[in-house]
Amino acid sequence: MTTEPVKLLREKELKEVMQFDAGSLLGRSMQYPKEIEVRGRISRDLVEEISKSKGEPEWMRLLRLKALETFERLPMPNWLEGVESIDLDEVAAYVRPKAESTNNWEDLPDWMKDVYQKLGLPEAEAKVLSGLTAVFDSENTITKVKEELTKKNVIFVSMDEAVKKYPDLVKEYFGRVFPYADHKFAALHYALWSGGAFVYVPKGAKIVNPVEAFFLIGSELEGQFEHTLLVADEGSFMHFIEGCAAPVLTKFSFHDGMVEIYAKSRSEVHFTTIQNWSGSIVNFNNKRAIAEDYANVEWVEGSIGSRVTFTYPSTVLKGRGASTKNISIGIANGPSKIKDVGSKAIHAAPETRSLIISKSISSGGGVAAYRGLVKVLKGAKGSVSHVQCDSLIMDKDSRAYTLPRNEVDEPTAEVTHEATVGRLGEDQLFYLASRGITEGEAKAMIVNGFIRDVLRNLPLETVSILTKVIELEFSQLGSVG
Amino acid sequence: MPIEVQDLRVSVDSKEILKGVSLRVERGEAVVLMGPNGSGKTTLAYALMGHPSYRVVGGRIVMDNTDITQAPTYERALIGLALAFQNPVEVPGVKLDYLLNVINAKKVKGFDLTYVDPKFISWVRREATKLGVSADLLGRDINVNFSGGERKRSEVLQVMALRPKYVIFDEPDSGLDVDGIRIIGGAIASITSEGVGALIITHHAEITKFINPTRAYVLMGGRVVASGGPELVEEVLSRGYEHLQVRGEQ
């Protein structure tokens, strides 16, 4: 491998890039001081140590231990490709970098401020967000709450702080949307969870500017298990953005995060993920929402980076007239890159609606799979679901799979599915090359065109970030290769 | 300063299609290339533009004293060579106006998918109207469900946006009605009048009325069998190719 010219190119191109350009922006592994690092076989002692170092209440400690028992009992899922590259006993379960949690950029240690500046976080916070919390390794390092949130009595704190400050509220929802017994990695998550965001939007409150949580994994052989819990009370609105980044590491790190959303009656929650982990991250993400009557939950999963990603944002449509829109954009770009993404919609009440759109792109030997589920329970009368899966295969070395599943037990439900597969050939690349466009640039154009119709209805900030990230992902590849 | 093809031999799937072709196009010239079907005209166009499946096994392509025989296609385009395709491929997901904007961005400031240049956009509107390219067509995926005529017009518009030094027009008139030929022929004439050298591959007399060719070549069996002034075009159109074949072999 020739690393030197690659680096030069990146630096030149990176000038234009905004935040979220993870791997390349942060370059190769970085050195920074750590206060605590808990490593070793995942055991009761290890879980106790994490709980103790956090000084958390007894009920949370017990919940962790119950989850650990479940983790130990459940078998390893046999369909997870790539997870075998992670030896859980070798991974640090908890890492606290040396930095006091703060609400002021100036209070952060210089090395950390520098990292966040490279990612454009302070600028984004100042310009477009109503609140931001950033998790570095296992702990929230900075949480900024703007006037809009305090005025509207919105609670926006780190998950750890919420456990201590709002125990009743947290107990009511934590682990209720996505129970730890669901699967082995959900159990592991609950045993080891640390960091994350908690948002509570009171009745009728509508947050105009989005709130964001940014997750960064700084070292190799590290596990990140952050937990995000959003509660939207009746008739409220919020848009939550999560971003992920990591430098390029020598060995893999493991991400097993979780998002729980509880959308009460007639509330609306938009959840956007721009996942741009470096190729050193094995990413296992658990995301689920419950929507009460006439509530609406919209997921946008921009799954760009990582070595392998498994994520299936799901909505349980629990109340009459609840609806969900679930858009996933999965890009598997490079040899041995795997995106196993999809969406689930569970129709558990009458007149519920779901729209699932999956756009997957595989390139340079990558594998992109859509794995989805639409389940309509008996009695969910007049429910409607539409699933559309479009795959774009950029070359002959890359593959795409579509694995949709429908389980419909309600005869009045209307469930439809559409799938398309597009292939990019030599002739198209030659055609665009004859217009002065390199192979990498052509791919960036085609990819952006391919996802254009899903971008059309997204918030402007999401679109511009995604466009830049994708442009970089492919134009770099082309210039280098 | 010309673009020169020197004794060019080109293979496709290890079969030699061009067996030593030499020709030259000066700036501001309209040079016509004729030849029966299968004589290698499109192969020459693709080889000049650097299609990876069209392997140059001998000879050189020299543009303004620069040897571009080994240059990648995008580089040839960036230094001023353009090709208007006979049968342009569909590119789903890429709209015509989007591509035009990217072509312009690369000229002005480098690759940028989000670059918007109001002056360029009004230029596109103006030229599109002249060529009969509708606003609707500009907003559609390139060549997807384009009619034959729409493809030809879109090709010429893209070539103009590239502001090249030399252009190969591969049958820009095939499948067009009389009005279409007049518009495309007129556009080519105005391109060459601005000092661009054009190599025009055609089978028809009609378009030559508009482009005022300075010279012509006839390609048969992968070789140039005749070259001359505009009168050669007339000769081919009235007498066909067969007598040239004989002449070429002598």
| Complex ipTM over 0.90 | yes
Q: Which of A93-107, A316-330, B162-176 shows the lowest per-residue confidence on average (mean pLDDT)?
A: A93-107
CA gap A157, B122 in Å, rounded: 50
Distance from C-alpha of A140 to C-alpha of A134, rounded to nearest angstrom = 5
A chain contacts of residue B91, beta-carbon cutoff 8 Å: 428, 431-432, 446
B83: nearest CB among A425, A434, A446 = A434
Q: How many residues does chain B have?
A: 250
- Ordered by start, the domain boundaries in chain B are 2-249
**Is residue A157 assigned to a domain?**
yes
Cβ separation B82–A434 shorter than 8 A: yes
* A366 located within any domain: yes
**CA dist., res. A14 & res. A472, Å (int):** 8
How far is Cα of residue B69 from the mean position of the Cα atoms in its chain?
Answer: 17
Residue A214 pLDDT: 92
Residues A13-50 pLDDT 10s: 323 322 233 345 566 667 888 999 998 889 999 999 99
Tens of pLDDT, residue by residue over A339-352, are 999 999 999 999 99
Does residue A354 lie in a domain region? yes
B4 and B61 in contact (C-beta within 8 Å)? yes
Burial string for A248-259 (b: 16+ CB within 10 Å, else e) reads ebeebbbbbbbb
pLDDT per position as a tens digit, A203-254:
999 999 999 999 998 888 899 999 999 999 999 999 999 988 888 888 888 9
Q: How far is CA A293 from CA A321, A323, A415, in A?
A: 6, 9, 20
Domain membership flag for residue A480:
no
Residues A129-165: tens digit of each pLDDT: 999 999 999 999 999 999 999 999 999 999 999 999 9
pLDDT score at B134? 95
HSE-up of residue B227 (Cα within 13 Å, Cβ side): 11
Domains of chain A: total: 1
At residue A390, what are phi and psi to the nearest 5 degrees?
A: -115, 130
The CATH architecture to which B2-249 belongs is: 3-Layer(aba) Sandwich (3.40)
Angle B148-162/B96-108 helices, nearest 10 degrees?
10
Q: Please report which confidence band the pLDDT of residue A5 belongs to, taking 50, 70 and 90 as the band edges.
A: very low
Q: What is the pLDDT of residue A189?
A: 97
Residues 6+ apart with CB under 8 A from A428: A442, A446, B89, B90, B91
| A8 falls within a domain | no
pLDDT for B156 equals 98
Residue A143 lies in a domain: yes
Residue A384 in domain: yes
Answer whether A437 sits within 8 Å of B106, measured CB to CB: yes
Structural contact between residues A388 and A357, judged by C-beta atoms closer than 8 angstroms? yes
Domain enclosing residue A200, as ranges: 32-426
pLDDT over 90 (residue A399): yes
Which residues in chain B have their CB less than 8 angstroms from residue A438's CB? 72, 74, 111
| A7, pLDDT greater than 60 | no
CB contact under 8 A, A428 and B91: yes
Q: State the average pLDDT over residues B56-64.
A: 97
CA atoms within 13 A on the CB side of B196: 25
- Residue A127 forms part of a structural domain: yes
Contacts of B53 in chain A (CB under 8 A): 426
Size of interface A-B (CB pairs under 8 A): 87
